[in-house]
Structure 1
Amino acid sequence: MSVKNQGENRRTSIGSQRNPASEEAILKAAQDILLEGGLPAFSIEAVARRAKAGKPTIYRWWPSKAALLLDVYHRQKDGVPHPDTGDIRKDLSQFLAGLLGFWRDGGGAIFRSIIAEAQSDPTALQALQAYAMSRCRQSGVILQRGQARGEVRADIDPALLIELFSSFAWNRLLTSRLDVSRDEIEQIVSAVVDGVALRNQPRQ
Protein backbone atom coordinates (compact mmCIF):
# COMPACT_ATOMS: atom_id res chain seq x y z
CA MET A 1 0.00 0.00 0.00
CA SER A 2 1.36 3.42 -0.93
CA VAL A 3 2.04 6.18 1.60
CA LYS A 4 -0.68 8.19 -0.09
CA ASN A 5 -3.25 5.42 0.33
CA GLN A 6 -2.25 4.89 3.95
CA GLY A 7 -2.90 8.53 4.60
CA GLU A 8 -6.25 8.38 2.81
CA ASN A 9 -7.35 5.40 4.91
CA ARG A 10 -6.29 7.03 8.15
CA ARG A 11 -8.99 8.94 10.02
CA THR A 12 -8.46 12.65 10.31
CA SER A 13 -8.38 14.60 13.57
CA ILE A 14 -8.94 18.26 14.25
CA GLY A 15 -6.19 19.11 16.70
CA SER A 16 -6.95 19.04 20.42
CA GLN A 17 -10.69 19.09 19.70
CA ARG A 18 -11.90 15.52 19.35
CA ASN A 19 -13.40 14.39 16.08
CA PRO A 20 -16.44 12.31 17.16
CA ALA A 21 -15.98 9.73 14.40
CA SER A 22 -12.28 9.27 15.20
CA GLU A 23 -12.97 9.13 18.95
CA GLU A 24 -15.61 6.44 18.46
CA ALA A 25 -13.29 4.43 16.19
CA ILE A 26 -10.43 4.60 18.71
CA LEU A 27 -12.59 3.63 21.68
CA LYS A 28 -14.19 0.76 19.78
CA ALA A 29 -10.81 -0.49 18.60
CA ALA A 30 -9.43 -0.37 22.14
CA GLN A 31 -12.48 -2.18 23.50
CA ASP A 32 -12.32 -4.91 20.86
CA ILE A 33 -8.61 -5.50 21.46
CA LEU A 34 -9.14 -5.85 25.20
CA LEU A 35 -12.05 -8.24 24.79
CA GLU A 36 -10.19 -10.36 22.23
CA GLY A 37 -6.71 -10.49 23.73
CA GLY A 38 -6.81 -8.89 27.17
CA LEU A 39 -4.18 -6.52 28.52
CA PRO A 40 -1.19 -8.35 26.91
CA ALA A 41 -2.59 -7.52 23.45
CA PHE A 42 -3.40 -3.91 24.32
CA SER A 43 -1.10 -1.09 23.26
CA ILE A 44 -1.45 2.36 21.76
CA GLU A 45 0.19 1.02 18.60
CA ALA A 46 -2.36 -1.80 18.29
CA VAL A 47 -5.25 0.61 18.85
CA ALA A 48 -3.88 3.03 16.26
CA ARG A 49 -3.57 0.28 13.66
CA ARG A 50 -7.07 -1.04 14.18
CA ALA A 51 -8.71 2.39 14.36
CA LYS A 52 -6.67 3.70 11.40
CA ALA A 53 -5.68 6.65 13.57
CA GLY A 54 -2.35 8.29 14.25
CA LYS A 55 -0.54 7.63 17.53
CA PRO A 56 -0.04 11.40 18.09
CA THR A 57 -3.81 11.86 17.91
CA ILE A 58 -4.39 9.15 20.52
CA TYR A 59 -1.73 10.54 22.85
CA ARG A 60 -3.12 14.06 22.42
CA TRP A 61 -6.56 12.93 23.57
CA TRP A 62 -5.43 10.25 26.05
CA PRO A 63 -2.04 11.10 27.60
CA SER A 64 -1.52 7.55 28.93
CA LYS A 65 -2.64 3.99 28.29
CA ALA A 66 -4.48 4.09 31.62
CA ALA A 67 -6.50 7.12 30.53
CA LEU A 68 -7.61 5.29 27.39
CA LEU A 69 -8.45 2.15 29.36
CA LEU A 70 -10.64 4.13 31.75
CA ASP A 71 -12.43 5.90 28.91
CA VAL A 72 -13.18 2.53 27.31
CA TYR A 73 -14.59 1.36 30.63
CA HIS A 74 -16.64 4.55 31.11
CA ARG A 75 -18.06 4.05 27.63
CA GLN A 76 -19.65 0.79 28.77
CA LYS A 77 -20.44 1.56 32.39
CA ASP A 78 -22.85 4.44 31.80
CA GLY A 79 -25.67 1.89 31.83
CA VAL A 80 -25.14 0.80 35.47
CA PRO A 81 -28.07 2.39 37.35
CA HIS A 82 -28.35 4.19 40.66
CA PRO A 83 -31.92 3.05 41.38
CA ASP A 84 -34.44 5.07 43.37
CA THR A 85 -37.21 2.71 44.49
CA GLY A 86 -37.89 4.51 47.75
CA ASP A 87 -36.40 1.65 49.77
CA ILE A 88 -32.71 1.63 50.69
CA ARG A 89 -32.44 -2.17 50.66
CA LYS A 90 -33.95 -2.49 47.20
CA ASP A 91 -31.82 0.39 45.89
CA LEU A 92 -28.59 -1.14 47.16
CA SER A 93 -29.53 -4.64 46.02
CA GLN A 94 -30.33 -3.44 42.50
CA PHE A 95 -27.16 -1.35 42.36
CA LEU A 96 -24.96 -4.29 43.40
CA ALA A 97 -26.76 -6.72 41.09
CA GLY A 98 -26.43 -4.26 38.19
CA LEU A 99 -22.70 -3.77 38.75
CA LEU A 100 -21.97 -7.49 39.01
CA GLY A 101 -24.14 -8.17 35.97
CA PHE A 102 -22.33 -5.52 33.93
CA TRP A 103 -18.98 -7.05 34.83
CA ARG A 104 -20.28 -10.55 34.06
CA ASP A 105 -21.46 -9.41 30.62
CA GLY A 106 -18.00 -8.23 29.54
CA GLY A 107 -17.21 -5.02 31.39
CA GLY A 108 -15.32 -6.94 34.05
CA ALA A 109 -12.57 -8.01 31.66
CA ILE A 110 -11.77 -4.39 30.86
CA PHE A 111 -11.84 -3.31 34.51
CA ARG A 112 -9.53 -6.18 35.48
CA SER A 113 -7.14 -4.91 32.81
CA ILE A 114 -7.18 -1.45 34.40
CA ILE A 115 -6.50 -2.90 37.85
CA ALA A 116 -3.67 -5.04 36.44
CA GLU A 117 -2.12 -2.02 34.71
CA ALA A 118 -2.26 -0.07 37.98
CA GLN A 119 -0.03 -2.64 39.72
CA SER A 120 3.03 -1.61 37.68
CA ASP A 121 2.21 1.85 36.34
CA PRO A 122 2.01 4.74 38.88
CA THR A 123 0.04 6.83 36.39
CA ALA A 124 -2.52 4.07 36.03
CA LEU A 125 -2.70 3.70 39.81
CA GLN A 126 -3.41 7.39 40.25
CA ALA A 127 -6.08 7.25 37.58
CA LEU A 128 -7.68 4.20 39.21
CA GLN A 129 -7.62 5.83 42.64
CA ALA A 130 -9.28 8.96 41.30
CA TYR A 131 -11.85 6.89 39.44
CA ALA A 132 -12.70 4.74 42.48
CA MET A 133 -13.16 7.79 44.71
CA SER A 134 -15.29 9.51 42.09
CA ARG A 135 -17.53 6.46 41.64
CA CYS A 136 -18.01 6.09 45.39
CA ARG A 137 -19.11 9.70 45.60
CA GLN A 138 -21.50 9.25 42.67
CA SER A 139 -22.94 5.97 43.92
CA GLY A 140 -23.22 7.46 47.41
CA VAL A 141 -26.32 9.30 46.17
CA ILE A 142 -28.22 6.07 46.91
CA LEU A 143 -27.36 6.42 50.60
CA GLN A 144 -27.92 10.17 50.58
CA ARG A 145 -31.49 9.54 49.45
CA GLY A 146 -31.82 7.00 52.26
CA GLN A 147 -30.63 9.61 54.73
CA ALA A 148 -33.19 12.10 53.41
CA ARG A 149 -35.94 9.48 53.90
CA GLY A 150 -34.75 8.74 57.44
CA GLU A 151 -33.62 5.19 56.62
CA VAL A 152 -29.89 5.80 57.10
CA ARG A 153 -28.14 7.51 60.01
CA ALA A 154 -27.24 11.12 59.27
CA ASP A 155 -23.69 10.71 60.59
CA ILE A 156 -22.81 8.03 58.01
CA ASP A 157 -20.47 9.05 55.17
CA PRO A 158 -22.29 7.80 52.03
CA ALA A 159 -19.11 7.48 49.95
CA LEU A 160 -17.36 5.51 52.69
CA LEU A 161 -20.27 3.12 53.20
CA ILE A 162 -20.77 2.50 49.47
CA GLU A 163 -17.11 1.46 49.38
CA LEU A 164 -18.08 -1.62 51.37
CA PHE A 165 -20.33 -2.75 48.54
CA SER A 166 -17.71 -1.85 45.94
CA SER A 167 -15.12 -3.88 47.88
CA PHE A 168 -17.38 -6.94 47.82
CA ALA A 169 -17.90 -6.50 44.08
CA TRP A 170 -14.17 -6.00 43.40
CA ASN A 171 -13.32 -9.15 45.34
CA ARG A 172 -15.80 -11.18 43.30
CA LEU A 173 -14.45 -9.67 40.08
CA LEU A 174 -10.81 -10.39 40.85
CA THR A 175 -11.54 -13.97 41.91
CA SER A 176 -13.89 -14.67 38.95
CA ARG A 177 -16.94 -15.30 41.13
CA LEU A 178 -19.48 -12.96 39.56
CA ASP A 179 -22.40 -15.41 39.60
CA VAL A 180 -23.83 -14.05 42.83
CA SER A 181 -27.39 -15.08 43.71
CA ARG A 182 -30.14 -12.64 44.66
CA ASP A 183 -30.23 -14.17 48.15
CA GLU A 184 -26.49 -13.55 48.60
CA ILE A 185 -26.83 -9.93 47.49
CA GLU A 186 -29.76 -9.34 49.83
CA GLN A 187 -27.82 -10.94 52.68
CA ILE A 188 -24.88 -8.60 52.10
CA VAL A 189 -27.18 -5.57 51.94
CA SER A 190 -29.06 -6.58 55.09
CA ALA A 191 -25.83 -7.20 56.99
CA VAL A 192 -24.60 -3.68 56.20
CA VAL A 193 -27.92 -1.87 56.62
CA ASP A 194 -29.06 -3.72 59.75
CA GLY A 195 -25.68 -4.51 61.29
CA VAL A 196 -24.54 -7.92 62.48
CA ALA A 197 -24.43 -7.46 66.26
CA LEU A 198 -27.20 -8.97 68.40
CA ARG A 199 -29.44 -6.41 70.05
CA ASN A 200 -28.94 -5.58 73.72
CA GLN A 201 -25.75 -7.64 74.07
CA PRO A 202 -23.18 -6.14 76.47
CA ARG A 203 -19.82 -5.22 74.99
CA GLN A 204 -16.88 -7.27 76.21
Structure 2
Amino acid sequence: MKTEKPTPPARRASIGAKRNPASQAAILAAARAVLAEEGYAGFSIDAVSRRAGAGKPTIYRWWKNRADLLMEVYSAEKAIITAVPTDDLGRDLTNHTRALWGFWSGTPSGRTFRALLAEAQSDPEALAVLREKFLPERLRDVRGLFNAAAARGDIPTEEVEARLALYLGFNWFYVLTDQLEAGQASIPAAMRLIAASTR
Protein backbone atom coordinates (compact mmCIF):
# COMPACT_ATOMS: atom_id res chain seq x y z
CA MET A 1 0.00 0.00 0.00
CA LYS A 2 1.42 3.31 -1.05
CA THR A 3 1.52 6.21 1.36
CA GLU A 4 0.80 9.51 -0.29
CA LYS A 5 3.24 12.29 0.50
CA PRO A 6 1.73 15.61 1.62
CA THR A 7 1.40 18.07 -1.20
CA PRO A 8 3.82 20.99 -0.79
CA PRO A 9 2.31 24.49 -0.88
CA ALA A 10 1.92 25.92 -4.35
CA ARG A 11 4.65 28.33 -5.38
CA ARG A 12 3.52 31.92 -5.06
CA ALA A 13 3.97 34.23 -7.99
CA SER A 14 6.50 37.02 -7.58
CA ILE A 15 5.95 40.51 -8.95
CA GLY A 16 9.57 41.60 -8.68
CA ALA A 17 10.85 44.14 -6.19
CA LYS A 18 7.33 45.35 -5.48
CA ARG A 19 5.90 43.20 -2.70
CA ASN A 20 2.81 41.10 -3.30
CA PRO A 21 0.73 41.52 -0.10
CA ALA A 22 -0.43 37.89 -0.10
CA SER A 23 3.09 36.56 -0.59
CA GLN A 24 4.49 38.93 2.03
CA ALA A 25 1.88 37.82 4.57
CA ALA A 26 2.58 34.15 3.80
CA ILE A 27 6.33 34.61 4.20
CA LEU A 28 6.01 36.46 7.51
CA ALA A 29 3.57 33.81 8.79
CA ALA A 30 5.98 31.09 7.71
CA ALA A 31 8.88 32.86 9.42
CA ARG A 32 6.90 33.06 12.68
CA ALA A 33 5.96 29.38 12.41
CA VAL A 34 9.51 28.21 11.69
CA LEU A 35 10.84 30.26 14.60
CA ALA A 36 8.17 28.86 16.93
CA GLU A 37 8.73 25.25 15.89
CA GLU A 38 12.47 25.12 15.21
CA GLY A 39 13.87 27.96 17.29
CA TYR A 40 16.68 30.22 16.17
CA ALA A 41 18.98 27.27 15.36
CA GLY A 42 16.50 25.95 12.80
CA PHE A 43 15.52 29.32 11.37
CA SER A 44 16.72 29.72 7.79
CA ILE A 45 15.60 31.30 4.55
CA ASP A 46 15.40 27.77 3.10
CA ALA A 47 12.98 26.68 5.82
CA VAL A 48 10.86 29.81 5.45
CA SER A 49 10.80 29.39 1.66
CA ARG A 50 9.56 25.80 1.92
CA ARG A 51 6.96 26.69 4.53
CA ALA A 52 5.61 29.69 2.61
CA GLY A 53 5.74 28.15 -0.85
CA ALA A 54 7.75 31.16 -1.99
CA GLY A 55 10.97 31.15 -3.97
CA LYS A 56 14.20 32.06 -2.19
CA PRO A 57 14.98 34.75 -4.81
CA THR A 58 11.71 36.46 -3.87
CA ILE A 59 12.57 36.42 -0.18
CA TYR A 60 16.07 37.75 -0.77
CA ARG A 61 14.71 40.44 -3.06
CA TRP A 62 12.49 41.74 -0.25
CA TRP A 63 14.75 40.98 2.75
CA LYS A 64 18.50 40.99 2.23
CA ASN A 65 19.29 38.56 5.07
CA ARG A 66 17.83 36.67 8.03
CA ALA A 67 18.16 39.70 10.29
CA ASP A 68 16.04 41.84 7.96
CA LEU A 69 13.34 39.17 7.93
CA LEU A 70 13.44 38.75 11.72
CA MET A 71 13.17 42.52 12.19
CA GLU A 72 10.07 42.64 10.04
CA VAL A 73 8.54 39.72 11.93
CA TYR A 74 9.14 41.66 15.16
CA SER A 75 7.81 44.91 13.68
CA ALA A 76 4.64 43.15 12.53
CA GLU A 77 3.99 42.38 16.20
CA LYS A 78 5.04 45.85 17.30
CA ALA A 79 4.14 46.67 20.86
CA ILE A 80 1.72 49.47 21.55
CA ILE A 81 2.86 50.78 24.93
CA THR A 82 -0.05 52.74 26.36
CA ALA A 83 1.39 53.57 29.78
CA VAL A 84 0.69 57.25 30.50
CA PRO A 85 3.64 59.30 31.85
CA THR A 86 3.20 60.37 35.49
CA ASP A 87 6.14 62.77 36.03
CA ASP A 88 7.72 60.11 38.26
CA LEU A 89 10.52 58.37 36.35
CA GLY A 90 10.59 55.25 38.54
CA ARG A 91 6.84 54.76 38.17
CA ASP A 92 6.95 55.55 34.46
CA LEU A 93 9.71 53.00 33.86
CA THR A 94 7.84 50.39 35.90
CA ASN A 95 4.66 50.88 33.88
CA HIS A 96 6.55 50.89 30.57
CA THR A 97 8.50 47.75 31.49
CA ARG A 98 5.40 45.82 32.57
CA ALA A 99 3.68 46.73 29.30
CA LEU A 100 6.75 45.70 27.28
CA TRP A 101 7.14 42.38 29.11
CA GLY A 102 3.44 41.70 28.63
CA PHE A 103 3.98 42.18 24.89
CA TRP A 104 7.06 39.93 24.89
CA SER A 105 5.20 37.23 26.86
CA GLY A 106 1.84 37.44 25.11
CA THR A 107 3.11 37.32 21.53
CA PRO A 108 5.96 35.49 19.74
CA SER A 109 7.93 38.75 19.95
CA GLY A 110 10.11 37.71 22.90
CA ARG A 111 11.37 34.70 20.97
CA THR A 112 11.84 36.85 17.85
CA PHE A 113 13.84 39.43 19.81
CA ARG A 114 16.13 36.74 21.22
CA ALA A 115 16.71 35.46 17.69
CA LEU A 116 17.50 38.96 16.46
CA LEU A 117 20.15 39.48 19.11
CA ALA A 118 21.63 36.06 18.41
CA GLU A 119 21.82 36.84 14.69
CA ALA A 120 23.58 40.13 15.42
CA GLN A 121 26.33 38.35 17.36
CA SER A 122 27.41 36.30 14.34
CA ASP A 123 26.73 38.74 11.50
CA PRO A 124 28.43 42.19 11.53
CA GLU A 125 25.95 43.50 8.96
CA ALA A 126 23.03 42.38 11.10
CA LEU A 127 24.64 44.02 14.14
CA ALA A 128 24.97 47.30 12.26
CA VAL A 129 21.31 47.21 11.20
CA LEU A 130 20.23 46.34 14.75
CA ARG A 131 22.28 49.16 16.26
CA GLU A 132 21.62 51.87 13.66
CA LYS A 133 18.08 51.13 12.48
CA PHE A 134 16.16 48.77 14.74
CA LEU A 135 17.10 49.92 18.24
CA PRO A 136 16.79 53.71 17.77
CA GLU A 137 13.17 53.32 16.72
CA ARG A 138 12.35 50.85 19.50
CA LEU A 139 14.01 53.00 22.18
CA ARG A 140 12.34 56.27 21.24
CA ASP A 141 9.57 56.06 23.86
CA VAL A 142 11.68 54.98 26.82
CA ARG A 143 14.44 57.46 25.95
CA GLY A 144 11.71 60.10 26.02
CA LEU A 145 10.93 59.16 29.63
CA PHE A 146 14.57 59.70 30.64
CA ASN A 147 14.78 62.97 28.71
CA ALA A 148 11.60 64.23 30.37
CA ALA A 149 13.02 63.39 33.80
CA ALA A 150 16.21 65.27 32.95
CA ALA A 151 14.17 68.27 31.79
CA ARG A 152 12.36 68.27 35.16
CA GLY A 153 15.71 68.21 36.95
CA ASP A 154 15.10 64.73 38.41
CA ILE A 155 18.26 63.23 36.87
CA PRO A 156 21.36 64.81 35.31
CA THR A 157 21.12 65.23 31.54
CA GLU A 158 24.59 63.75 31.11
CA GLU A 159 23.39 60.49 32.72
CA VAL A 160 20.49 59.81 30.34
CA GLU A 161 22.39 57.43 28.05
CA ALA A 162 24.06 55.58 30.94
CA ARG A 163 20.73 55.05 32.69
CA LEU A 164 19.15 53.95 29.43
CA ALA A 165 21.93 51.35 29.07
CA LEU A 166 21.23 50.08 32.60
CA TYR A 167 17.54 49.87 31.74
CA LEU A 168 18.30 47.86 28.59
CA GLY A 169 20.61 45.52 30.47
CA PHE A 170 17.89 44.70 33.01
CA ASN A 171 15.29 44.00 30.32
CA TRP A 172 17.60 42.06 28.05
CA PHE A 173 18.80 39.82 30.87
CA TYR A 174 15.28 38.60 31.56
CA VAL A 175 14.15 38.25 27.95
CA LEU A 176 17.37 36.53 26.80
CA THR A 177 17.26 34.02 29.66
CA ASP A 178 13.50 33.49 29.19
CA GLN A 179 12.71 34.54 32.76
CA LEU A 180 10.13 37.27 32.20
CA GLU A 181 7.61 35.73 34.57
CA ALA A 182 10.17 35.15 37.31
CA GLY A 183 11.52 38.69 36.96
CA GLN A 184 8.21 40.52 37.35
CA ALA A 185 8.68 41.04 41.08
CA SER A 186 12.04 42.72 40.51
CA ILE A 187 10.74 45.41 38.16
CA PRO A 188 9.70 48.13 40.68
CA ALA A 189 12.92 47.95 42.73
CA ALA A 190 15.12 47.90 39.64
CA MET A 191 13.31 50.89 38.14
CA ARG A 192 13.63 52.86 41.40
CA LEU A 193 17.39 52.24 41.36
CA ILE A 194 17.72 53.27 37.71
CA ALA A 195 15.63 56.40 38.32
CA ALA A 196 17.25 57.39 41.62
CA SER A 197 18.41 60.97 41.93
CA THR A 198 22.16 61.51 42.32
CA ARG A 199 21.90 65.22 43.04
* 1:186/1:151 CA distance change after superposition, 3 Å: farther
CA deviation vs aligned residue, 1:60-100 (integer Å, no higher than 9, x gap): 11011111111111211x22416323333332111111222
How far, CA to CA, are the matches of 1:53 and 1:16 in structure 2? 14
* 1:134/1:163 CA distance change after superposition, 3 Å: farther
Partner of 2:81: 81
Partner of 2:192: 190
Unaligned residue ranges in structure 2 (runs of 5+): 1-6
CA deviation vs aligned residue, 1:93-123 (integer Å, no higher than 9, x gap): 1111122222233322121112222222222
Contact preservation (8 Å) 1:147, 1:154? yes
How far, CA to CA, are the matches of 2:154 and 2:32 in structure 1? 39
* 1:140/1:92 CA distance change after superposition, 3 Å: same
Partner of 2:167: 165
Alignment partner of 1:94 is 2:95: yes
Give the root-mean-square deviation of aligned CA atoms. 2.7
CA deviation vs aligned residue, 1:31-66 (integer Å, no higher than 9, x gap): 111011101221111111111111111101101111
Q: Percent same amino acid at aligned positions? A: 38
Contact preservation (8 Å) 2:28, 2:73? yes
Q: Provide TM-score, normalisation by structure 2.
A: 0.81
Contact preservation (8 Å) 2:119, 2:126? yes
Once the two structures are TM-superposed, the CA of residue 161 in structure 1 deviates from its matched residue by 2.9
Which of the residues 140, 145, 155 maps onto 1:142? 145
Q: Provide TM-score, normalisation by structure 1.
A: 0.79
How far, CA to CA, are the matches of 1:181 and 1:136 in structure 2? 21
Contact preservation (8 Å) 1:96, 1:165? no
How far, CA to CA, are the matches of 1:175 and 1:135 in structure 2? 20
How far, CA to CA, are the matches of 1:162 and 1:177 in structure 2? 21
The within-5 A match list for 1:1-204 is 9-76=10-77, 78-81=78-81, 83-87=83-87, 88-105=89-106, 106-130=108-132, 131-147=134-150, 150=152, 152-153=154-155, 155-156=157-158, 158-180=160-182, 183-195=185-197
Once the two structures are TM-superposed, the CA of residue 171 in structure 1 deviates from its matched residue by 1.0
Unaligned residue ranges in structure 1 (runs of 5+): 200-204
Once the two structures are TM-superposed, the CA of residue 169 in structure 1 deviates from its matched residue by 0.6
Aligned length: 190
